[in-house]
């Protein structure tokens, strides 16, 4: 997979070259290009924004600069263009799993009050364009959202995680939140590891973990329970 990111703050994306993602890049599992939008400006002030038509707060990013930048970065290779925005469709684990199958992702990081809508409209004729949001809160720009989305996608690529099973057993992969996890010591500040986890009884451990996942999901994310397909819960689950 190749990932390109266009932004006026390239330094914001430096964490993508650290730790697990950095090792994936070094291993050739993913290619990353970060591009400064201002490289496609032609005025002395390197202007990328202007006042909004119709009035309203703040500034809007100009379509011309974005058009030149995305034409250059996209080139002729097919890619999914992703535009983070507070007004986007929710980015979920299912989105990450779908995008993990893509050959190329290009992220357009807006700032100010966003990017002129004609940029999305113009590229929608060339290939898939996704306007997505990482959550119901307002950020200052798209860069943090891109860090989140790139990490969620790249960790799913073959060879990136040391223990690939964990990607399948993630929270949300079975529709539930994962339950609590424990490691040594068996007793810490008067708090003990649940006996079942040290019993060696794998069926009992699996049951206990499922029950804790159901309990946590019901308490914290009842919406996920409501969204489960009818056959997702077995009789033992329903007894819970």
Ligand X SMILES: N#Cc1c(-c2ccc3ccn(Cc4ccc(CN5CCCCC5)cc4)c3c2)n[nH]c1N
Contact footprint for ligand X (CB under 6 A): 56-57, 84-86, 88, 110-114, 133-135, 137-142, 145
Is residue 52 annotated as a catalytic residue, yes or no? no
Is residue 62 annotated as a catalytic residue, yes or no? no
Closer by beta carbon to ligand X, 100 or else 145: 145
> Cα-flanking dihedrals φ and ψ of residue 207, to 5°?
-65, -45
Helices 117-124/63-74 angle, 10° precision? 30
Catalytic residue among 102, 170, 178, 215: 170
What is the smallest separation between the CB atom of 10 and ligand X, expressed in angstroms? 16
Catalytic residue among 86, 174, 207, 211: 86
Closer by beta carbon to ligand X, 90 or else 180: 90
What is the smallest separation between the CB atom of 100 and ligand X, expressed in angstroms? 18
Catalytic residue among 84, 131, 155, 209: 155
Is residue 36 annotated as a catalytic residue, yes or no? no
Is residue 113 annotated as a catalytic residue, yes or no? yes
Closer by beta carbon to ligand X, 87 or else 203: 87
Q: Which residues belong to the active site?
A: 86, 113, 155, 170
């Amino acid at each position: 997979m190749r990932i390109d990111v266009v932004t006026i703050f390239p330094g914001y994306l430096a964490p993508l070259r650290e730790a697990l993602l950095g090792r994936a890049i070094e291993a050739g599992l993913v290619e990353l290009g970060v591009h400064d939008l201002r490289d496609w400006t032609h005025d002395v002030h390197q202007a990328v924004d202007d006042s909004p038509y119709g009035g309203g707060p703040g500034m809007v990013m100009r379509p011309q600069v974005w058009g030149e930048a995305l034409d250059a970065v996209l080139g002729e290779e097919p890619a999914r263009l992703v535009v983070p925005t507070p007004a986007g469709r929710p980015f979920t684990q299912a989105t990450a799993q779908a995008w993990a199958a893509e050959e190329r992702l290009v992220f357009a990081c807006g700032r100010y009050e966003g990017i002129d809508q004609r940029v999305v409209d113009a590229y929608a004729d060339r290939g898939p364009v996704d306007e997505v949001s990482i959550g119901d809160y307002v950020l200052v720009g798209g860069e943090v959202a891109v860090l989140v989305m790139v990490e969620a996608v790249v960790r799913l690529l073959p060879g990136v995680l040391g223990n690939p099973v964990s990607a399948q057993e993630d929270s949300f992969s079975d529709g539930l939140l994962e339950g609590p996890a424990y490691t040594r010591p068996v007793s810490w500040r008067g708090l003990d590891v649940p006996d079942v986890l040290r019993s060696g009884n794998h069926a009992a451990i699996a049951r206990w973990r499922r029950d804790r996942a159901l309990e946590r999901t019901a308490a914290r994310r009842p919406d996920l329970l409501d969204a489960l397909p009818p056959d997702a819960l077995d009789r033992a689950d329903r007894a819970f």
